[in-house]
């Protein structure tokens, strides 16, 4: 049974509603089992239809998913960012439609390479097309890898594949499960038997992969302290807030005893580094005298190049600087003509570009421990984090999730950081302005956290780790190659034997 016999309008609505339910599979809801079920519905909609109809179903599914899963963009752009409502809605809907276009491309490929329901369509072509386009969505035009299917499996039985092949390997298995479920519904008896066998094999493999350790301790445990200042984004950059904010972070840090590493959030001090040089020198001196490394996010202006950078600096006995490499379009840089910049300036909106840091940068140091740094949005790009590995023994991510308000976005963001820890077999120190500040273990579990919108210090222990997970060695290449092979093999075999 396929869904092709239903009226087109009904199928479009089914695709839209199925997509709108997809964010329930991700944090904070974490109904991981919904991902293969809902994608299975999409696959059923792709069977026995023209490529154009399949593309339309894919677009509706993707649009529903991103409306329901990234509606918080309106908060970021209008409520916190101050853009006019009409402009905020326009930018938000434009991004959602662009993201939905990737699902449309996957649908078109599925419709073009398959016909009647069969093993090749459900188990090869559709999973391959979906994951390939998902991977493209993660890097084309700087990438927006939100709602990548594999993240939903972080707390599910497929999480064991994440250290092997990364988040896209988990996506591929999710799509394979979806194909098997679709075949159970739409296939002939022998195809249903094959689908049931595949489901059993995937379940057994997932159980076998779980709980394996690919890294080992590289030294004794370290005491860490993560500071969450909870400075409201609407007031953060007001001149009268600067002294209060510096006092807040100083006092919270001076209250920490026996820490080896103290971490402040992204742009914790709302000023350029040269404007608060005396304060930073004071904190560096205290760090040296008390034997800890202080990491803080701050903006830096390069007078020689006349450029701004969003940076993470290490103060103490082992100073260092990391400049954010993967910037947020329309948040940290503005790919628009000058007249649009002039318009943004008139509205008192940000219009000045941040300059990305070079790809190759050394790890930061905290004494003898090497740290793989990341700032905010960079937690979504596991492939780039590999540039610091396997040398780095800890992961550090600083963020200002105050831009998201009290929405689902900070929880989605934390889920990505947890996935990076599991991919690499390293502890992650994640300090944010308003939450979620957390210490994350190498298995992706959260060992400590601060509730959102509270001023607090999270203290705990982490262990420097050494060794390589398979993902650290090979990155996303194996998963993406497998998706491509599935797509090509399915299309080729279908051409050679239309009965399959």
In angstroms, the CA 135 to CA 152 distance is 16
The string of DSSP codes covering 76-124 is: IIIIIT---HHHHHHHHHHHHHHHHHHHHHHHHHHHHH--SS-HHIIII
Q: Which two tokens stand for residue 143?
A: 């990438």
Query: What letters, b where the CB count within 10 A reaches 16 and e where it falls short, cover 474-483?
Result: bbbebbbebb
Place of tokens 């960012």: 81
Number of helices followed by number of strands (H, E) in the chain: 17, 14
In angstroms, the CA 330 to CA 205 distance is 42
Active site residue 266: yes
> Regarding beta strands 364-366 and 456-462, do their DSSP bridges make them parallel or antiparallel, or are they unpaired?
unpaired
Q: What share of the chain is helix, strand, coil (3-state, %, to 5)?
A: 55, 15, 30
Q: Which two tokens stand for residue 36?
A: 């293969």
Q: Could you give the 3-state DSSP secondary structure of residue 357? A: coil
Q: Which two tokens stand for residue 27?
A: 């944090």
Question: From the centroid of its chain, how far is CA 371?
Answer: 19
In angstroms, the CA 113 to CA 39 distance is 18
Active site residue 277: no
Alpha helices in 260-346 (DSSP H): 277-290, 338-346
In angstroms, the CA 178 to CA 39 distance is 6
Which one of 53, 376, 416, 423 is the catalytic residue?
376
Which one of 53, 266, 332, 378 is the catalytic residue?
266
Q: Which two tokens stand for residue 145?
A: 């890898």
Active site residue 376: yes
Catalytic residues: 266, 324, 376
């Amino acid at each position: 049974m396929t869904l092709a016999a239903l009226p087109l309008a009904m199928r479009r609505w089914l695709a839209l509603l199925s997509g709108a339910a997809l964010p329930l599979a991700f944090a904070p809801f974490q109904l991981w089992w919904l991902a293969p079920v809902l994608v299975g519905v999409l696959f059923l909609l792709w069977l026995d239809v023209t490529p154009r109809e399949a593309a339309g179903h894919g677009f509706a599914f993707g649009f529903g998913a991103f409306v329901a899963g990234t509606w918080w963009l309106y908060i970021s752009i209008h409520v916190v960012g101050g853009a006019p409502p009409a402009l905020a809605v326009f930018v938000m809907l434009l991004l959602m439609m662009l993201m939905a276009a990737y699902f449309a491309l996957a649908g078109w490929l599925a419709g073009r390479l398959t016909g009647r329901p069969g093993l090749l369509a459900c188990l090869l072509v559709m999973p391959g097309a979906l994951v390939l386009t998902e991977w493209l969505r993660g890097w084309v035009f700087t990438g927006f890898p939100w709602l990548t299917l594999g993240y939903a499996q972080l707390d599910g039985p497929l999480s064991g594949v994440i250290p092997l092949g990364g988040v896209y390997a988990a996506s591929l298995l999710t799509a394979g499960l979806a194909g098997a479920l679709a075949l159970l519904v739409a296939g002939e008896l022998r195809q249903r038997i094959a689908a049931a066998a595949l489901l059993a094999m995937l379940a057994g493999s997932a159980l076998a992969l779980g709980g394996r350790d690919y890294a080992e301790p590289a030294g004794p445990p370290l005491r860490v302290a993560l500071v969450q200042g909870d400075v409201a984004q609407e007031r953060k950059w007001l001149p009268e807030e600067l002294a209060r904010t510096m006092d807040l972070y100083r006092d919270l840090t001076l209250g920490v005893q026996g820490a080896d590493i103290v971490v402040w959030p992204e742009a914790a001090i709302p000023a350029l580094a040269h404007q608060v040089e005396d304060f930073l020198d004071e904190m560096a001196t205290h760090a040296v005298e008390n034997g800890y490394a202080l990491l803080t996010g701050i903006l830096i202006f390069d007078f020689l190049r006349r450029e701004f950078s969003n940076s993470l600096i290490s103060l103490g006995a082992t100073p260092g600087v990391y400049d954010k490499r993967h910037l947020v379009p329309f948040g940290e840089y503005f790919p628009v003509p000058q007249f649009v910049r002039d318009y943004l300036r008139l509205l008192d909106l940000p219009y000045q570009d941040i300059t990305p840091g070079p790809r190759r940068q050394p790890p930061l140091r905290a004494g003898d421990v090497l740290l793989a740094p990341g700032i905010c949005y960079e937690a979504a790009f596991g492939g780039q984090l590999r540039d610091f590995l396997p040398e780095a023994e800890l992961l550090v991510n600083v963020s200002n999730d105050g831009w998201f308000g009290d929405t689902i976005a900070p929880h989605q963001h934390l889920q990505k950081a947890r996935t990076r820890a599991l991919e690499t077999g390293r502890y992650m120190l994640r300090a944010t302005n308003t939450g979620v500040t957390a210490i994350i273990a190498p298995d992706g579990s959260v060992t400590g956290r601060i509730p959102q919108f509270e001023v607090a210090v999270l203290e705990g222990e982490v262990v420097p780790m050494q060794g390589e997970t398979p993902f650290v060695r090979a990155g996303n290449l194996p998963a993406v190659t497998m998706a491509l092979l599935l797509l090509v093999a399915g299309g080729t075999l279908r051409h050679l034997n239309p009965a399959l």
